[in-house]
Structure formats: structure tokens, C-alpha cells
Chain A
Amino acid sequence: MMEKDVIIIGGGPAGLAAAVELRKKGIEDILILEREASLGGILRQCIHDGFGLTRFGETLSGPEYARRFIDEAEALHIPYAVDTMVLHISPDKTVTAACRDGLKVWKAKAIMLAMGCRERSRGALGIPGERPAGVFTAGTAQAYINMYNRMPGKEVVILGSGDIGMIMARRMTLEGARVKAVFEIMPYASGLPRNIQQCLHDYGIPLYLSHTITEIKGGSRLQGVVVSEVDGHMRPIAGTEKEYSCDTLILSVGLIPENELSEGAGLTLDEQTKGAVVDEHFQTDIPGVFAAGNVLHVHDLVDFVSMEAEQLADCAASYIRGRALAPCTIRVAAGSGVGNLVPQRLSGTEAVTLSCRVRSPQRDGTLVVMQNGREAAVHAFKRAVPAEMLHIRIAAGALQRQGDLEVSMK
């Protein structure tokens, strides 16, 4: 069994940023394990631009954004193994992976989970109807087009207004497909406003809110979908059915942190984020196992993924050096109107940034962090949508050493 100071699982934006930052903090013995043939993660297939505005102050394509970190990692000679799939992590921080040379086992002082997320499938939605070919998740369609030079279809309907779905609406239009419409079950879009403008409106693709697909038709290849309006409880309204003929259905209906390995290690997961429960050091409930990026909670921008992983590196470096991290016994709960709160546990001694999302679109709102009946922090905003992550800064000294926190909309 080989020993490592830190093993980073996943060579996407989170894993790369953490590796670079750990090395800059003087951690030498790092290994990144990546299941794909090259580093970069999902960014490799995101050839559109818009990445990096926050992190680099300029707009980059996905591969360009990834390249910045890969170049840095290579310049710093950070070891990595590609085509290596981690099969198992044990609570004592043993990592087992498969590659063409055999089964590899490492024992790590610290593990960083950076596995990213995956897409919700048609089966998970339980869309009624037949099961023809031609139903793809947006990311799968994106991989076919951008990575494999393969066209999924010609006449397209999109379910869900997630960012990847909207980006694929534009991408498929540019490649000659006819994108008929995007249907969203919620009364508001789930993707970023800029994507609604740049990917749908600019190309004349209609977005129908409060609509969903109630039947998939076709025994061999997809022939069409039946779309219905939904009521306030997201139930289809009888009599509103309308059929759209199409050979391709793209699903952009949500991302789920990919925590199979975390579950195998016995980590506690958060019901809402579907990621590990972490403290302000991004440490999970197994000491020395850290998580950041989309495996922890799904982000709206890759810039935040990188920045979160860089923050994590600080704490992980201290841990590897054997310094005690401040114990985190204060629990943070999401109150009314708020969800996806990270981190879930705080020390109360240090400044910390909480991230969360509003449950529904809001204007001129205020988020309040309450502890022991007093306001520990307040965050006012002009507008907020569930698609965008909110960050609440809590100053050092603003918290008491004891007493759980609740974040809610005022």
C-alpha cells in the first residue's frame, strides 16, 4: 500500500484548484485521481464561453478555464493519474482505484472529495410514456456533439430550463437542429438569466413556464411528446395537453452531487444539498476527509467551485501538518425561504461565508442569520433567484461560542 499526504478524487475544476493551492501552501505529496483520459472534468465539453468572469475577470471557454489550472498544476509538477477510477474509500482513508495496471490502493492522511455532480435522468423523473431512443440528458447531448462529433437529433424539445439545457438549445440550433421549445415545470426559470437571453431569446426559442411533459411517444425512436400546463402544485391540468412532434428530447432537470464514494465511506449527507455535511473547514464527519465544489453542493458558476476548493486547501493543509482545526459544534439550519445551506457546522470563532439559495424568486429581500435570538449577520439583496447562489459573510466575533444558527428570509 502506497502512502500519500493527500489524495484528490477528481481532476475537474474543484480538484485542480485544490491541488494547486495545496502545493502553494507547501504540501508536496499530492495525487490527483481522474477517471477520464485527461484532466479538466466537465469543463472539457463546455466549449461555450462565460467562465472565469469572477475568478479571472475575463470570459473564457470551459476548456480555456480548465487549461489555466492544468497549466499551473503541471508547472508545479503535481502528480496525477488519469484513466483511474476510484472504486472505494474507507473510513480509515484508504483509497482503492482501478486502472489498466491493476487495482491500486493508497493510504492517505487527507482525502479531498472533488467528484462533481451528475444529471437527473428521465427515470428519476418518472416521465410517463414509452422508452424510445432519442431521450438524452443535456450533458450527454453536449458530450455527443462537443466531444464525439455526433449529432443526437434534428427536431428537438427541451424539458427543464437548467443552464446546460439552454446552452444545448443554442448549440443544437447552431448545428442545424430545430429546437421547438423549452418547457419548465416551475413558474420561473431554473437557469441563469443571462442564459435565457443569450441561448433562448436571441435565437427565438420559446420558453414555456409552468409546463411539463406528460407523455413520451415512440416505440423505436422518439416521435413526440405531450406537454401539459401545471397548476400551482405542479400537477398537470387536464385539457391543456398539446403534442409536439420531435425526434429528440433533451432533459435539463437538475444536477445531483455524485456521492456514491462518500456514501460508501459512511459520510453523512445533507438531505437538501445531497452533498456531505461539512464544517467551516469543508471537513466532513470523517476527520481528514474534505469536500468542495459540485460534489458538496451544486454551484451556478465554476468560478465559485474553484474558489471554494482554494478555501478548502487552507484547512486541509493545516490538517495534513497536524494542526488542530477549531472544533465546530454550532449547527447551521436553513429556515423559511432558504435552502442548500453550506457549511452546516461552525466553530463560532472565525469569520465564515455561508452559501445558500432562495427557494423562490425574490425582490428587495433580506437574509438574516439568527443566533440565540439575535441577528448575527444580515444580507440584503435587490433580487435573488433560486438559480443563483447567495453568499452571506459572517464577521469574526459576530458569533457566540454556543447556540445554533438559523438562516431565513426576512
Chain B
Amino acid sequence: MDTQYDVLIIGAGVIGSAIARELSRYDLQVAVLEKNLDVCNETSGRNSAVVHGGFAYDTGSLKAKFCVKANRMMGDLADELDFPFKRCGKVLVGNTEEDMAQLNRTIAQGQANGAAGLEIIGTEKLHELVPAVVGKFAMWSHNSGIMDPFLFTVALAENACHNGAHFFFNRNVTGIFRDAADRYHVQTAREVFSSRWVINAAGLGCKEISDMLGITGYRVIGSKGDYIILDKKLGALLPMPVYPVPSNTYMGVHVTNTLDGNVTVGPNAETVTDFSYYGVPQGNMDFLKESASRLWPHIEKKDQIRNFSGILPKWVDENGTIQDYKIEIRDDVAPHAVNLVGIESPGLTSAVPIAAYVVELMREREAFRPNTSFDPVRKGIRRFADRTPAEQDALIRENPDYGEIICRCEKVTKAEILQAIHNPLDIHTMTAVKYRTRCMMGRCQGGYCQMRVEQMLEQELGRPAADIRYCRPGSWVLAGKVRE
């Protein structure tokens, strides 16, 4: 089978999903190929979930430019796409003269980058903002914020899908061939996809895809960061993320509030070559606790509910120096291929401006007709837990499934889980339901609700138990029935 497209995007992380959405503004046949079973299973979903201000990047860099632009538009985007975002600000906490000098440099750099709302604050103001913090002074970035990276990516992908883009999961790209007519043929284990344009949004796989396109020579390292997630009880002690004094290449171990009231602690930064290993060793957990406790001394083992890790793809030169984003069309080597290399932090924040830039590069080479039926608005699953009692009552009366609570910790109802199972992207893993609803994400980590969710997946999809997957291909949840 050789399916014909105008544009093939490789990778359904936040970048690939954002590009798909930007391209769905045009009258194009767009397809996204993703090797995992869902969007944002790698770098996009494994990070601090911070919306950055744009001050911590070299002036003139793409990172700075996109980040500042993205920060300004995030509120409107969140309204349009219905994903959780909060402009809560953040503080970079210091104690020494050296820290102060670095923070002043950071502010100057931020201002040069066009980031607004940066100021130095003293102890009093710092403790007014974050009473539970340890530190003498801080840089306060008013416009920084937090978001839900899963729901952001899901929103982008669902809106792209709604506007005509096709998503294909469990499609690992194994080869790319360009024919005499300059059409690309992208090989996966199941089929070949054919297209005029190819976009490399493969994140951790960017070097492999770049090589397949014939654009060779990139050196990409993985920077793995581990995190600890703390119980919701701790959320009250952290109204905004607390960071140490940063360098332009590493933000340092920080504590971050999440929109759901949890706290994440991390990341460390470890250079890795295995881009699929997400294990968290004991030593790293100890290191995170020790480092972050200097800023925010409330990290106790009893409040730990989970750990996770993520890997950032960093493009480095021959000396190992981390480079800016590379976003290019190499007309000489791979015409009609957009190559994105080293899209690391602040990639989550910057996804939409990056996508717009990609489309701009394409339109410099080809005129696209607009998609006249493009609808920028997407509605997410209505959450029961976030509402007032009167609203909850109204929801239940409208749809009684809202009255059946499946996840006791996060108060996720049957109605929400059914909507998540029948999601527009047609993804059917346990984590697809988890990331879309927060079931299994609470204090008991699915001890109470996972059987119910698994059962609903079987029933709604008409699939046998042994076919239900947790997250990745091969991640079977159950061996089958005990007896027929």
C-alpha cells in the first residue's frame, strides 16, 4: 500500500502535533507518523511542564525568539484549545553576590530577548510569594507559568485531526526514499507512506530521520532528567515554581507546582546514549531530594507518589557545546523536507511558534491554499472534579455517567473515562485514558480504579483482555482470562 499525502510529519510529540495543526489551516493532505501508541510519550510529556519566560537563552537565538513569542500567546492558545495553563509566575532564588550578579545578567538578557515582567525581589517579597522557600532574594518572572503538557499536546493533535490531519500510531519509520519525481516514500513496518513534503519532528529520533533524509553530520546527545512527584498535600506550599540561579544551558534542580496541585522535583541532567531507557536510580532520587531541599525543604519520602524521567535531545558541536535549535530546509540535499534538530527545552513552550516558523519556511517554497473550513477551537473533556457542587449536580443531571466516580483520588467519573476511551485520535492505551482524565494519577496510583478502566476499555472497544496495552507497544496489562 502506498498512501499519498502532501505532507508527512514524523513524530507526534508537541512539535509534530503543533505543526500538524498549523498545516491544517491549509488545503493539504497531512499525516503524522508516530512510533508510540499515543502523542507525547517521550520528551514532550516528560518534563517540568513549565511555560518559560524566555530569559534563559542567548539573545538572538531561536530558543529566545520562539519562547518569548510563545509565552505571550499562551493564554489565548489555552482558551482556544481548552488546555490547562496558569500564568503563576516563577522565582529564581539566590543567596550570594555571585547569584545576584548572575540574576542581573539573566534579567538583562531577558529584556534583550523581549521578555517582560522580570524583577529582582528581596527576602520579604520572596517569602510573600512563596512562604515556604529558603533564600535571600530572587528574580521574579511574572509571566512564567505552568501547563499540562499531555493535554496541550492532545489539544493540538485533536484540533489538527478535527481539521483533517491524519494520525498513525505504532508506525516506526525505518527508511525514507526520494524518487525521481522528488516524492518521498516513508517506510514503516506496516506500509509505505508517500508525500511531497516530509517534516522531521522526531525529537529524540531527529538525528536518525535527518540521516535518512540525507542530511548527515549532526551530533545529538540525550540529557536525561529524573523527577519525583509529590502528593497533592504539598501543593499549598508552592504557589509557583522555585528554581535555583540558572546557567543558559541548565536550569538546575527545581520544584514545580502542577495545575493539579502536585509538586514535581527535578531534573538532574545526565548525558545518555540510550534514548529509550527511563529508569530512575536510587542515587538520583537522593540527589534530587538533597538539591531541591536547599530551596524548598518540604520533600519527604512519605509524600512521594511516583517518579519519572525524560530525555532532551541536544544538538552539540564537536566540542560538546549545546547549540540552538536547527530548523532548516536543505534544498540541495533534501528539497521539500523540513529538518528540525535538537528541539529541547523550551520546546514545549515554543511549540506553536516553532510550527508557524516551519510552515513559513514551506510557504517560501510553495503557495498553500487556505483550508476554508479550518476551525481553531477545540473543546476538551469536561472535568467533574474542578467544578462547584452546583455545577457537578447539573453535570450529573445532564449525563448520569458524571455521577459514577471511577477514580477515587482524582474524582474522575465514568463520563470522562468514556470520552477519553472514545478520543478523536482513536488511541486505546491505559495511559491514553490516564493522561486525558487524570484517573490512576492520584495518591493510590490506580490501586482502586485501574481494574475499572481496564474493564471499560475491553467493553467499549470489544477487545480481549490480553490486547489491552498500558503505554508502549508490548506493554500488556493482563495475561488474559483466569478461566473461560
Contact = CB atoms under 8 A, between A and B. Distances in A.
Contacts of A140: 446-447, 450-451
8 contacts: A99-B404, A121-B305, A124-B304, A126-B228, A128-B282, A144-B478, A147-B451, A219-B472
Contacts of B445: 121-124
A151 B479 CA distance: 5
Secondary structure dominating the interface of A:
mixed
Contacts of A219: 276-278, 472
Nearest to A143: B451
A102 B393 CA distance: 5
A126 B476 contact: no
Contacts of A129: 279-281
B403 interface: yes
B282 A133 contact: no
Interface string A123-143: 110101111111001011001
Contacts of A130: 277-279
B403 A152 contact: no
B478 A150 contact: yes
Interface in B405-430: 405, 408-409, 411, 413, 430
A151 B482 contact: yes
Interface residues of B, number: 60
Contacts of B483: 149
A99 B451 CA distance: 20
Interface of A: 35, 83, 85, 87, 96, 98-103, 105, 118-119, 121-124, 126, 128-134, 137, 139-140, 143-145, 147-154, 175, 214-217, 219-221, 247, 260
B142 to A, nearest CB: 33
Interface in B285-328: 285, 301-302, 304-308
B477 interface: yes
Nearest to B400: A100
A95 B242 CA distance: 37
Secondary structure dominating the interface of B:
mixed
Given A119-B447, A134-B477, A147-B451, 4 more contacts: A124-B305, A126-B285, A153-B479, A221-B474
A220 B41 CA distance: 12
B102 interface: no
Choose among B279, B392, B397, B473 the residue with the greatest number of A CB atoms under 10 Å from its CB: B279
A188 B259 CA distance: 42
Contacts of A134: 476-477
Contact of A175 (B282, B404, B482): B482
A41 B330 CA distance: 65
A220 B472 contact: yes
A139 B451 CA distance: 11
A137 B447 contact: yes
Contacts of B402: 98
A203 B448 CA distance: 29
B480 interface: yes
B448 A118 contact: yes
A35 B451 CA distance: 15
B185 to A, nearest CB: 29
Given A101-B396, A118-B448, A126-B304, A214 B282 contact: yes
Given A119-B447, A130-B279, A101 B403 contact: yes
A269 to B, nearest CB: 12
Contacts of B277: 130, 219
B465 interface: yes
B404 A100 contact: yes
A206 B475 CA distance: 28
A272 to B, nearest CB: 12
The 6 nearest A-B residue pairs measured at CB: A133-B470, A123-B306, A220-B474, A121-B445, A220-B475, A103-B393
